Amino acid sequence: METTAPTLGTAPLLLIAAAAIAVLLFLVIKVRLHAFVSLTLVSLLVALATRIPLADVVPTMLDGLGGTLASVALLVGLGVMIGRMLEVTGGAAVLAQSLIRLFGERRAPLALGVASLLFGFPIFFDAGLIVMLPIVFSVARRLGGSVLLYALPTAGAFAVMHAFVPPHPGPVTAADLLGAHMGTTLLIGTVLAIPTWYIGSYLYSLYAGRRFELPVPADVTADADSAGGGEAGYAKHDRPPHVGTVLGILLLPMVLIFFNTGVETLATAGTVNGDATWAKAMVLIGQTPVALLITAIVAMFVLGRGRYPRDRVEQIVNGALGPVCSIILITGAGGMFGGVLRASGIGEALASSLESTGLPVIVAAFVVATALRVAQGSATVALTTTAALVAPAVEASSGLSTVDLSLIVIAIACGSTVLSHVNDSGFWLVGRFLGMDVATTLRTWTVMETLIGVVGFAFALVLSLLL
């Protein structure tokens, strides 16, 4: 939807952005107004304050809400069905036990993080996290301690891979806009993602797990029976699935999504013809909602067969949807807030004011991406928008090697990762799934995301100076 360009200057827009975030935090933390209502109210106030035409205010809000729900609702709904089937049948417990045996109980958080790094190569953040959460909760219940000790390495792994590594859409688009070689970007992104995750996510989780004692939530992945050790309980599974079956179900969406992301990456690099029928079919099958739909059907059939009648399987997956309705709405409202900020021109005002500072390209790219991330919330939007903004400066810079271009892509990815807060749908997704209030989410998830971005940028900057 097109709206009339805002008439305010850069300074008023920046002040409105700061005031909006402050008001939102006040409403949620101090007033205790429901996050969905708070986000909707502040979105309306920002639209009015930035002089978006009155006729466009509601359509702009609905565009932001609908755009986020269009992707999140399917992913959350299908993902939580897969997770509930794995949990109820004992699949999550089986995999948790295997991970514990392989790595040892003391290294269970590391095991979960490593598995998530592998799963996170082709799987988007939301989908991967939702599918892995039942396993995280199973391990946490089995071993005890704060759920953050087990959940943060997993969430951090998916966040790092989503931002740093092609074939995810952000780095693929940024590399294409900057003319960076896709293979080099993939290699450098993977090499930097691993130590960045270890320092910024895993090591931080060890501290956060001691600092914040949070119990495993019982309202998202477990119903009354599972919480009490009944039919779906962790200790009572007459015929749990084999660990190979569990891994197969977890890997199925990864394989299917790789059809999409792999073909698109090769097409972007010019290796394959993206217009070929077989390529289009692979792209369709590998679309994340389609991949999760296929996986959900397979999970219901494979895990339910011989264990539950069809009506019981229907009850299980239907019961999985109720607890996530609030999460879906709050996540959509976060997208609404980000959409209004984008339509108001606040993001562009921040980017243009920072772009003219004369910083080195790699530093300016990080700073601009950070400003866009803070202003509008979406990591992918910040990443792709920054790449478009700095592309002329990159073109004008002489002496930039293929490695330099890939490092600039990583720097943009790092800036688009830091300071996840109330206008980021991922902030609400993680906070609500882990049962955290806003203040605790800011002190844990936001800090971890910022560490990931800063550590990753430090690696990229040092490499750019050495190579």
Question: 348-389, pLDDT tens digit by residue?
Answer: 676 666 556 667 888 988 988 888 788 777 776 777 777 777
The pLDDT of residue 221: 44
Which DSSP symbol is given to 107?
G
From residue 306, how far is each of 108, 134, 245, 246, 378 by CA, in Å?
Answer: 31, 22, 14, 16, 43
Distance in angstroms (rounded) separating the CA atoms of residues 433 and 447: 18
Q: Which amino acid is at 93?
A: A
The pLDDT of residue 397: 72
CB contact at 8 A, 126 and 80: no
- For 201-229, write each residue's pLDDT tens digit: 999 999 998 888 888 876 454 443 343 33
Contacts of 435-443 with C-beta under 8 Å, sequence gap 24+, read 435/147, 435/214, 435/215, 435/217, 435/219, 435/220, 436/214, 437/29, 438/25, 438/28, 438/29, 438/35, 439/29, 440/212, 440/214, 443/212
- Between helices 425-433 and 54-88, what is the axis angle to 10°? 40
Per-residue tens of pLDDT for the chain, all 467 residues = 544 445 677 788 888 878 887 887 788 777 878 878 888 998 899 899 988 899 999 999 998 888 778 767 777 788 778 877 877 787 766 776 787 788 887 888 998 888 888 777 656 787 778 878 888 888 888 888 888 999 999 999 999 988 888 767 678 778 877 888 777 787 888 889 999 999 999 999 999 988 888 888 764 544 433 433 333 333 345 678 888 888 888 888 878 877 876 787 788 777 788 788 888 888 888 877 888 899 899 999 998 887 888 888 888 888 878 767 777 787 778 778 877 877 888 766 766 665 566 678 889 889 888 887 887 777 767 777 777 777 777 776 767 888 889 999 999 999 989 988 887 878 888 888 888 888 899 999 999 999 999 999 999 999 988 87
The pLDDT of residue 111: 87
CB contact at 8 A, 396 and 367: no
Q: What angle do CA 131, 133, 134 make, to 5 degrees?
A: 90
The pLDDT of residue 117: 84
CB contact at 8 A, 51 and 44: no
CB contact at 8 A, 140 and 180: no
Which residue carries 């209004």 as its tokens? 340
The pLDDT of residue 461: 94
CB contact at 8 A, 32 and 38: no
What is the Cα gyration radius of the chain? Answer: 22
The pLDDT of residue 451: 95
Closest by CA to 283, choosing from 297, 299, 268, 295, is 268
CB contact at 8 A, 121 and 214: no
From residue 365, how far is each of 170, 384, 390, 448 by CA, in Å?
Answer: 14, 11, 7, 21
Distance in angstroms (rounded) separating the CA atoms of residues 467 and 458: 14
Distance in angstroms (rounded) separating the CA atoms of residues 196 and 297: 36
The pLDDT of residue 393: 73
Distance of CA 231 to the CA centre of its chain: 32
pTM of the complete model: 0.68
Which DSSP symbol is given to 234?
S
DSSP 206-231: HHHHHH---PPPSSSS--HHHHTTST
- For 308-328, write each residue's pLDDT tens digit: 888 888 888 888 787 677 777
The pLDDT of residue 82: 83
**H/E segment holding residue 389:** helix 379-396
